[in-house]
Structure 1
Amino acid sequence: MLDCTVKANPAPTYTWDHLKEKNSSSVLKSSALSLGNYTCTATNTLGRDSKVFIVRDGCPILLSPLDVVVEYGASFSVNCSYSATHQFGLSWDGFDGTVEESEEIFRFVDKVTDWETNLTCYMSSNETQCSQDLPITIYKTPDSVFISTVNHRGPMMEGQQYELQCDVHNVAPVQNLTVKWYKGQTLLHQTNFTDTIETPVNETVTLLIRPDRADDGAEYWCEAELDLGAEGPQPHPTNSSNPLSIAVYYKPKHSSSTETIIQDDKVMLDCTVKANPAPTYTWDHLKEKNSSSVLKSSALSLGNYTCTATNTLGRDSKVFIVKDSQCPVQIIPRRAVVRYGDNVSAHCKTSVLHEGMGWEASEGRVPMTKNQNLITWRVPELTEWDIKPFCYINYKIGDKDQCQVELPVTVYKTPDSVFISTVNHRGPMMEGQQYEVQCDVHNVAPVQNLTVKWYKGQTLLHQTNFTDTIETPVNETVTLLIRPDRADDGAQYWCEAELDLGAEGPQPHPTNSSKPLSIAVYYKPKHSSSTETIIQDDKVMLDCTVKANPAPTYTWDHLKEKISSSVLKSSALSLGNYTCTATNTLGRDSKVFIVKDSQCPVQIIPRRAVVRYGDNVSADCKTSVLHEGMGWEASEGAVPMTKNQNLITWRVPELTEWDIKPFCYINYKIGDKDRCLIELPVTVYKTPDSVFISTVNHRGPMMEGQQDELQCDVHNVAPVQNLTVKWYKGQTLLHQTNFTDTIKTPVNKTVTLLIRPDRADDEAQYWCEAELDLGAEGPQPHPTNSSKPLSIAVYFAPKILFCRDWSPLTETSLDSYPLNLYSVEGNPRPDVSWRHKSSSVNSSMPLTRYDSGLYEIIAGNDLNSVSCFMNITVEYAPVFYDSQEKFVVGEDSNITLECYSTGNPEPEMWWSFKNRNISTGRRHINIERATSTNAGVYTCSATNKFGRSDKTFIVEIKDDSPNYILTVVVVVVFISLVLIILLVVLMLKRRKSRGNYEVHSEMQPLRNGDP
């Protein structure tokens, strides 16, 4: 048995060279095989190893070494002897056709410069003849190995997918090549090749990476290794690329979103976080702006402080809770995780005497109570996303009289739906091309706890996390780049949204999965070997069947009539070479079947010739038997029959015949046979004179969604059945056309492509390429001629891509809404306008705090007009409402100081009295049975991220005890007034009793007119 079984993990697959049929078994029966060499290759994802089995009969030839591995241009030697007791003659054949006879012969080859070098040792006598081939592997290390990025320059973004490319130049044989990818000293992946081409080729291998922050500064490199088996050089020859150092940009990400700090001189609020570019820092709730990443806790009041680290890629916030180490309350549980709309509860308990404890919260508030040591905050149906309940206690220890502890609450919602789709593509995918798959997760919260996972079947491909601190439900879209191959035909991709809510959250984590997306992959035919030798027999078939999608059609060259079957009987054919070509819409692959008589002792090198029209061509025909004449027949370069040579060459210095069919013949006598021949397949080709692209019946801009036709004209090319016309948009292959015509002379070909451009195609460049795939014997890489690019303009209606709720600061105009050139699409460029409450709005006017509401943004061009609605919430610093600010009351009175403010975001409130905080989070304080110690100035403070405002309240306490001195003074004053009034009256009476009298004479004369 030929036993190739070998241990490996994963378990290997097995392939055999030189068999008539494909066989994946690790064991073969030697009795079922012809004499010769059989190479078995065991392969798994980590590498391969080959073993050569030499099947021979009783021929006693011994070769030393049994096989040769030699570098191109180097020398080697081999010895041929035999182990029989009889006298035989030995001869070498393989270079110049000469025969040397001896009992033991040695061969030294100075320089190996022929890739198809063959060497055979013959043993002969008058009665018998046998031979032994020397397996020769000629190798060449690469001229260069080069690593680069594909379609990208500059820093990479964390979480995005990129493609690296490794180019290996001029290496042979490719089936022994392994390309390995490294990051630092870690092996990431390796690629093996199954092509049987023995001459040097160029190979390009790609690797998809999705770098994270740990990869910043990482060095990627690739290595080409030739594993030539145990007989090859040890260690294996390797060539490495220069390292490619990558820079990764990533946004800030704190290890935790909250941290409780016990106030102390030595304890710091440390917000430092790694990010690239380096972040800047801002703090909320501070009296002054501070850009440091570290603050002293001893310099701060008790309360919550939010630090935000920001760079160009995003931001991340962390809340520091500064508290007194002596606060004697315990909250159970320490953190609450609740589904939106479900009930939630938490206990707050203490073991000390107190003057009151309670819960403050926007839902489920518990009033202060004095006679309990355990109080419960409970909400039967929680519908607030950003709730921040805290338990407070009034007690007296040292200078402290109140403290509080906040309960962190995470409100979550599983997605309404998870949907997978392809981006800008429908229908089957093409093998080796890159596609984008999209996963849409609808209405999920909180997004910073979300992980989106990608699967192919049951294999996890990639996962994406989010650092946004939005607590309300959002929609998220994640994409994945894939490059399917033929093994992915029928594969199912799907994505899953998982909420990891920590140890307090539900276990197992809530997950929602998309329906599977089944993909069809189109791939061109690919035979496992390019040639196969068939011994003519009734039971032996020429089987050209190969897998491809779409299913291929088959054509045969050198047949008398057209046949489309993939299988032919060898017994129905003449001796010679038959080329089968399997073709589908993506490409073609050819295989040469050499039908020969088991006794025909000639070999043609090369087995197939490919020559440019007008160039020179040659081929050797050799034999190792005695003969009566051999020669070449051909319409050009015929070689007359000769009897004294074992190697003859057919040569044409300038081939100008398109359909030439040379064959080598030999006259000999073995059994009933006396003549045989083998034909040399010759393909004569000519590259196109020109390749030209144009539009059909159209000029000017194209309209989105309308169908247009492009035309590619290829002039004067041959042979057309080896021609492929490829259509590209940018660097993306769109379609390709093959031809089955068997015309061998030059022709003109016109190919058309229907396109239906969309907005993404505006300014896209289309071009076509004519490629001649002439098989393994043809020029590598394949000859190509390309058209000039055709740039198209596409007109399309407006589309608003960015339409989200906005929270600007007062005095900001609508012109500051975060639109840019990529937020509103349209060609011609759309005009943008605004409406509010059904009226047009001047976008340059500054917004006030009364302008919040629903706004409509409108974009229009000649093709259409579209709009979308958004809520604009104007943010502003705290503002206080008017209220009584001065209170004058007597002792033992009850006073309520009410402080109401507005602001956006909602301000945090606290009260201070005599430079001490006396309450946090409440809008009023009650003073019961006021005394003189309660008199003074109370300050109510309101703060949000835009500022802080203070309002003062004056409390005066008046004394209600009797004032005897004042009473005496009043009585004395009253009596004095009475006495003064009496004295005045007496004086007036006295004056009346005295009087003034005037005496006149009685004898006075009368005046005139008197009576």
Structure 2
Amino acid sequence: MSKSASVVRLFMGFILIATGVHASCPIELSPPSVVVRYGDPVTINCSTSVSPLEGLGWEVTVNGTGIVEVNHLPWTVANLTEWTISPSCFFNPSENSSHTQCFKKAKVVLYTFPETISITCSGDSKGVMKENKDYNFTCDIHNIAPVQNLTLRWYKRDTIIHTETFDFSAKEPMNLTSVLLGFTPTRQDNGVTFRCEAHMNLGSEGPKLNLSSQEYKVTVHFGPELQCSGTDLLEGTDLLEGDSLKNHCLVEGNPTPSVKWLKDGQPIDPGIPMSRTNSGLYTVEAEGSSFINKTLRVHVLYGPELKCPSSYTALEYSPHNITCTFEGYPQPEIMWYRDGEEVELPANLKRRDTGQYLITASNNLSSVNTTLEINVIYPPSEIVELEDSEVELGSEFWLKCSSMGNPRPKYFWNYYQMSNVVEKSEDGVSYLLIHNATAFNNGSYTCHASNERGNVSKTARVTVKGARQECPIQISPDRMVIQYQGTSQTAKCQVTSTAITNVKNKYWQIRKDDRIDNEDWRDVDTYKDWDLRPVCIATFVGIGTCQKHLKFTLYKTPDSVSLSGQTGPMEEGKQYLMQCDVANVAPASNLYVYWHKGKERFNIGTFNDTTPTPVNRSSTVTLTAHRDHDGTQIWCEARLHFMPTAPDTPAVPSKSHKMIVLYPPTFIKPETEMLEIKAASRVL
């Protein structure tokens, strides 16, 4: 095959690979990636196990090859200096091969690393800096590549204070400058050193290169400054008797300043012990990096004295007149403590202020203290620990009522009293213990706490899960059924509780604005109270107001019951509508119409009618005539049904109707084919 044909096939292979026709290329590069120092030699081997083949080739700007019919083809450069080099090995298969033309690129990283890097500062060339002034450091790196593999680290002493990387994509060498901005030295930085380090990470194939700049040593100049221990110079300085200015006030600076003390314009020896008669104005002059002249007032101290009463009693919210006297210089600080914590005693004492207090008077010389017992008389506090509860049916639980007061409060409870509830008091707390919780333990429980200063109360709600709230009312009888124009009856409304204190009130509510405050009620108008709804209402401690309805019915039996529909003969197989009319009956919701056919009850009619007054109602049935019905009596009867709470009314029947059913004759075949007929007999 000609060389030009190989080039065409190679170009076609590029297209196939680029479009994803063949995803695997049988080429192995060794090594697949290399890291080379600028000017050093490099060799990469390209090989394939496929045979036969047309050949392998290297396409590269330096020392490239054509297609060579070999299974192993190296690419070698003696001095690599091209920064953007990107060699590719090409594979051309034989004409009948299952492989396609393809190529692989080798990764080549060319680098260069400087021999030195330098650090400079915007300050004095000798490293002298002024305290609290801003300075910048600069690190210069020349002729380095590739910069994207470079990490620059700034060190203060041996601590990294800044790290910088570079995202330049260029492969050629660059000159880089890193600036560390805003270093503000303090006197603690005197003698500290700075340096910058370059770190080149070329991956697992290459070396890890490190280079450090020279160290830059900082000298910080400050002062002179006058420092008196624990003293604000604007207010003066305080000395214990026997102390000296030299020990108490120091003049600091770099370089070390010269110092002179004066009083009333005359030099003094600052090392002489001070007495209280030496209080006054003093001047200090110091010269170093700069010159200062400061004046301060010196005080001589003596210890505090404190006098307070041992106890004090007050009414809550009343202004107190507790008087404690103290003296000392400087003026002592008075502190009040309670239970180890600092407090501020209010002008008007409250219940929480009762207790023992420690009072201290102190200054920078000494401290003294005394104790004071304060007793505040106050009414009971808001009740705590009494909360709504949800308990299981049959369970045992307790309610807790706690209040703080001085004197200690006394307790009493309001609730629906039951035999399974026990009251108990212990350590100023009241408890309600409930055993075997029932539905009657549902409700509110109010605890009252009182003493000579006042009283408070709180209510909690108890819910017994699985127990329906019951109204402790019993109505006897619970159902009253009275006939129209009949005799009235008596209903009793009684409470089931044996504790009289559980009941607040009880009455009958018969009609709107018709209240009867009696246990018995019998005021029924049997002529017109069709829609009467008597209710017994009672209010109970703990439960509140509840009620029970008396199931009341005023009824009227029908004036008449009549049957209508087909009264003449019926044809077998046809359907006929029959109607039972019930006149002037109440209430219709309790009306039952029973249909009879001979001895058979074949239908029952009911009514979803809530009208309480007398009405006319009809029940209908559809009959399909049959010869068996011929001669059968059919009728209906009406009855008011109140069972099981009251007896049913007697049935009121209609007149019966005899059914006549017409049907065609039917020949009945005899059991034998031969008939014996006597002379003179009739054959039907």
TM-score by length of 1: 0.26
- Name the larger-Rg structure: 2
